[in-house]
Amino acid sequence: MDKLLLYNCSQIVTPKGSHIKKGKEMDQVEVMQNASIYMEDGIILFLGANEEVLHRLGAAYIEQIPGDIMVIDGAGRTALPGFVDSHTHFIFGGYREVEFMERLSGASYLDIMRKGGGIQSTVNATRSYGEDRLFADGRNRLHDMLSQGVTTVEGKSGYGLDLACEEKQLRVMKELNKVHPVEIVSTYLGAHAVPLEYKNDPAGYVTYMVEVVMPKVKEKNLAEFCDVFCEEEAFDTEQSRFLLTEAKKMGFEIKIHADEIYDLGGGRLAAELGAASADHLLMISEESMAALAESETVASVLPCTAFCLNKPFAPAKKMIESGCGLALATDFNPGSSFTNSIPLMLSLAVLKMGMTLPQALTALTLNGAAALKRADKIGTLEAGKQGDIVLLEYPDYRFLIYHTAKNIVHSVIKNGHLVYKKEES
């Protein structure tokens, strides 16, 4: 049996519970001082004040702990639940630096897409990459995420569009999940763009996904979620509704890229269909906000995307005041958000979007877990949850934003094992 004691942390800070936190509830995080966490076989058995935890292990002093328990010293450090990056597109071929510069000179994201660039250019590159290359790049990106405290990441397909390349992307994630400590949750996003082959027949492409690709993805157990880019130049509300309804019938959980550039009512649609999350929401309407607040659907905001596209942020503060439950994710992808920076995201959320630090922490942990239908297993530090823990270099969680846009992760525990430790300089 694997036994691990994380002893004498300056702080343990965590939201609590196994469900989405909405509105004011997002502020409720527990702060324990001088506290410890005990795990067996990857699961948290108990946590609390140092003396209490020692006592439950039959010891009065740390020196009396049985020899088969591995001890990690938490002195001077803050323990937080492992971060959940619940929206990324981290498996892709090629880069789009030219397009980034074109945007800086005034071209819009949709203009570039209309001219055959954007997502389609990453599709061309991803189709040309072998599985080994996608795997090697994916592994490097996962290492980088882990070093920033990410213990669970969602990854989408959507840069293949045809059956072979969508399966390739999803297979690469499945293989990476076997060998890398960061847990990967896969999403089929065939409805990311209409591929060139179907340029004049978008309805035919929707039929192809529903009749050919989705049954295969399901049969091979390559994805848990199905997502749609509901947007002008991509898929309209009716196509999105149809595709996601069919996906639900096949047993997929569902998500929507909603109201990013135009408000097509994607937020409302996500609530109506019982989606796990509606993501982006830069242009969310009052109506969609009210619908999401009434629902169990997580409203995922992706500040790095708004930042990189130079667009106004989603109205996070107003959404929380309206009673929505927000998650924060990076949207890491080669186009609209070529950054996986957790520190930048937290700084933007708090300094620019008006979220409080406890709200941002809840959004990056428990609500991120809810967006992946895993709030019963991860997202908080409580008895019965997975031992997924981030240790910060500092003794107080407020350094997360005070040390602005800086990675202050010292080490990471996944499933009760130390899987990352920053090299001391």
Q: Which stretch binds Fe ion (CB under 5 A): 200-208, 211-219, 329-337, 368-376?
A: 329-337
Choose among ligand NIG, Fe ion, none what residue 225 binds, the Cβ cut-off being 5 to 8 Å by kind.
none
Tell the smallest beta-carbon distance from residue 280 to Fe ion (Å). 7
Q: Which of 154, 166, 224, 260 binds ligand NIG (CB under 6 A)?
A: 260
259 binds Fe ion (CB under 5 A): no
183 binds Fe ion (CB under 5 A): no
334 binds ligand NIG (CB under 6 A): yes
Q: Which of 148, 331, 386, 409 binds Fe ion (CB under 5 A)?
A: 331
231 binds Fe ion (CB under 5 A): no
Closer to ligand NIG at the Cβ: 335 or 416? 335
Closer to ligand NIG at the Cβ: 14 or 187? 187
User: Which x/- pattern over 58-97 shows residues binding ligand NIG (rule: CB under 6 A)?
Assistant: -------------------------------x--------
* CA-closest candidate to residue 366, choices 11, 12, 17: 17
229 binds ligand NIG (CB under 6 A): yes
Count of residues engaged in binding ligand NIG, rule: CB under 6 A:
14
Q: Which of 120, 187, 305, 340 binds ligand NIG (CB under 6 A)?
A: 305
Closer to ligand NIG at the Cβ: 191 or 363? 191
157 binds ligand NIG (CB under 6 A): no
Helix H, strand E, coil C: the string for the chain is: CCEEEEEEEEEEEEECCCCCCCHHHHHCEEEEEEEEEEEECCEEEEEEEHHHHHHHCCCCCHHHCCCCCEEEECCCCEEEECEEECCCCCCCCCCCHHHHHHHHCCCCHHHHHHCCCCHHHHHHHHHHCCHHHHHHHHHHHHHHHHCCCEEEEEEECCCCCCHHHHHHHHHHHHHHHHHCCCEEEEEEEEECCCCHHHCCCHHHHHHHHHHHHHHHHHHCCCCCEEEEEECCCCECHHHHHHHHHHHHHHCCEEEEEECCCCCCCHHHHHHHHCCCEEEECCCCCHHHHHHHHHCCCEEEECHHHHHHHCCCCCCHHHHHHCCCCEEECCCCCCCCCCCCCHHHHHHHHHHHCCCCHHHHHHHHCHHHHHHCCCCCCCCCCCCCCECCEEEECCCCCCHHHHCCCCCCEEEEEECCEEEEECCCC
336 binds ligand NIG (CB under 6 A): yes
Q: Which of 15, 74, 118, 195 binds ligand NIG (CB under 6 A)?
A: 118
Q: Which stretch binds Fe ion (CB under 5 A): 46-54, 196-204, 326-334, 393-401?
A: 326-334
Residues 165-184 that bind ligand NIG (CB under 6 A): none
Q: Which of 10, 36, 122, 386 binds ligand NIG (CB under 6 A)?
A: 122
C-beta of residue 239 within 8 angstroms of C-beta of residue 233? no
* CA-closest candidate to residue 78, choices 6, 152, 136, 138: 6
Q: Which of 141, 168, 257, 374 binds ligand NIG (CB under 6 A)?
A: 257
Tell the smallest beta-carbon distance from residue 177 to ligand NIG (Å). 21
Tell the smallest beta-carbon distance from residue 91 to Fe ion (Å). 13
Closer to ligand NIG at the Cβ: 4 or 153? 153
Which residues on adjacent β-strands are paired with residue 4?
A: 39, 70
Tell the smallest beta-carbon distance from residue 201 to Fe ion (Å). 25
Residues forming contacts to Fe ion in the complex (CB under 5 A) are: 331
Residues forming contacts to ligand NIG in the complex (CB under 6 A) are: 89, 118-119, 122, 229, 257, 260, 305, 331, 333-337
